[in-house]
Structure 1
Amino acid sequence: MYVPPAFREDDLPTLHAAMREARLANLVTATGEGLMATPLPLFLAPDEGPNGTLYGHLARANPQWKQPAVGDAIALFTGPEAYVSPSWYAAKGEHGKVVPTWNYVAVHAYGPAEFFDDADRLLDVVTRLTDLHEGTRAAPWAVADAPDDFIRAQLRGIVGLRLPIARIEGKRKMSQNRPAADRAGVAVGLAASDRNTDRDVAALIPT
């Protein structure tokens, strides 16, 4: 990922927080059959390894896990993003030399993709993923709510993923390269949008 110095994010807890907030990632591997990608919910074990370790699962029928990866896999996380109109820049009225752009948060986590089908490990992964996303609900559903034989049969249809993060890159592009008056204009413009993600980006712009 191309990351100019103004947009670089190196703080590991901040990167981990962005990954958790993104929730859904895209797992990409280079194989002898070409690039392969799968959208996956993943959870992060932050203390497992120097950069943390990601866990998730794929459908057993998914050919991606069967193709040996060439080099590391990459998990792509995208956070809040928004189109930035040049009409919001104070500079538009001063000299008109402005163009559109996009603000966004992105984290790329690289590491070897390790696949497994041990039933107990799979059960731990699906339980932790479920607890993570059900935990804030008023009446959370738990894996244990379903019959054990049914869950065990479901586990036979998936393959686990473990991705120890060997390298991590973060980019937080929030108009930091623009003058203060331009940043303020972008924040006001996005805050007035009907799109929730636009308003999320507005709150992240330094003014």
Structure 2
Amino acid sequence: MYVPAHFEESRPEALHGLIAQNPFGTLVTHGEHGLDANHIPFLLLPEEGKLGVLHAHVARANPVWKDVANGDEVLVIFRAGDAYISPTWYPSKHEAHRQVPTWNYRVAHAHGRITVRDDERFVRGVVARLTRTHEASQPTPWKMSDAPADYTDALLKMIVGIEIEITRIEGKLKLGQNKETRDIVGAGEALKASGERVISDAMLACAAAKTE
């Protein structure tokens, strides 16, 4: 990934936070049948390994788990919002007219080595932890024991676990850091007024940090 210095985020703890808040990732593999991409939710274990470990599961019918070999290098991409930026939102544009459209976004790339975990205990644990994490905000959280045991057991046999030890992690936060503070604020406020909050909030926080 091309990352200019002013857009670089290299702190593992910051990238772990981005992944935890945006766990739906794109798993990119290059196996026996070439490049493949699968979109699945991940569970991050930040304290395991050198840079953290990712757990997930895929359908047994999905050929990806047979196409890769344990130890293969893979990439998981996590997106944390994106938005089109109009040059008309920059105050400086109306003075010098030297601005063009762009696209702002936040992403984290986790490079690592994959291990296929085709065992019921691992898969059950991944599903249970994912469920607890994402049901926590519900008024009445659903839990695995709410479903009949035989039904759950049958479904667990239809999925395969995946573990990825992160060996390198990099992030790109393109939020207008190369612009004047007033331009970052102008674009951020315009996005906010349009109803887009993820990138607008990040841009306004970036502008506030520049003035500290």
Class of the TM-score when normalised by the shorter of the 2 chains: over 0.9
CA distance in 2, matches of 1:127, 1:153: 15
Once the two structures are aligned, what percentage of the paired residues are identical? 40
CA positional deviation for 1:124? 0.5
Count of aligned pairs between the two proteins: 207
CA distance in 2, matches of 1:200, 1:32: 42
> How is 1:1-207 mapped onto 2 (pairs within 5 angstroms)?
1-68=1-68, 71-207=72-208
Counterpart of 1:175, as a letter, is G
CA positional deviation for 1:91? 2.2
CA distance in 2, matches of 1:79, 1:13: 15
Contact 2:185 2:204 in 1 (8 A): no
Contact 1:59 1:158 in 2 (8 A): yes
Contact 1:193 1:199 in 2 (8 A): no
Contact 1:115 1:162 in 2 (8 A): yes
CA distance in 1, matches of 2:15, 2:199: 20
Change (3 A) 1:199 1:175: closer
SS in 2 for 1:178: coil
Which stretches in structure 2 are left out of the alignment for 5+ residues? none
Change (3 A) 1:198 1:50: closer
Contact 2:86 2:100 in 1 (8 A): yes
SS in 1 for 2:30: strand
Contact 1:12 1:51 in 2 (8 A): yes
CA distance in 2, matches of 1:149, 1:162: 26
Q: Deviations over 1:165-207 (max 9, x none)?
A: 0100111111000012211211221111133445444444424
Runs of 4+ aligned structure 1 residues displaced above 6 Å come to none
CA distance in 2, matches of 1:71, 1:45: 20
CA positional deviation for 1:99? 0.8
Contact 2:57 2:160 in 1 (8 A): yes
Counterpart of 1:177, as a letter, is N
CA positional deviation for 1:68? 2.4
CA distance in 2, matches of 1:47, 1:202: 29
Aligned alpha-carbon RMSD (Å): 1.6
SS in 1 for 2:94: helix
Counterpart of 1:85, as a letter, is S
CA distance in 2, matches of 1:87, 1:22: 30
Q: Deviations over 1:97-155 (max 9, x none)?
A: 21111111100001111111111111101000100100111100001111222111111
CA distance in 1, matches of 2:31, 2:118: 21
TM-score by length of 1: 0.94
CA distance in 2, matches of 1:191, 1:206: 14
CA distance in 2, matches of 1:38, 1:31: 13
TM-score by length of 2: 0.92
CA positional deviation for 1:32? 2.9
Contact 1:190 1:202 in 2 (8 A): no
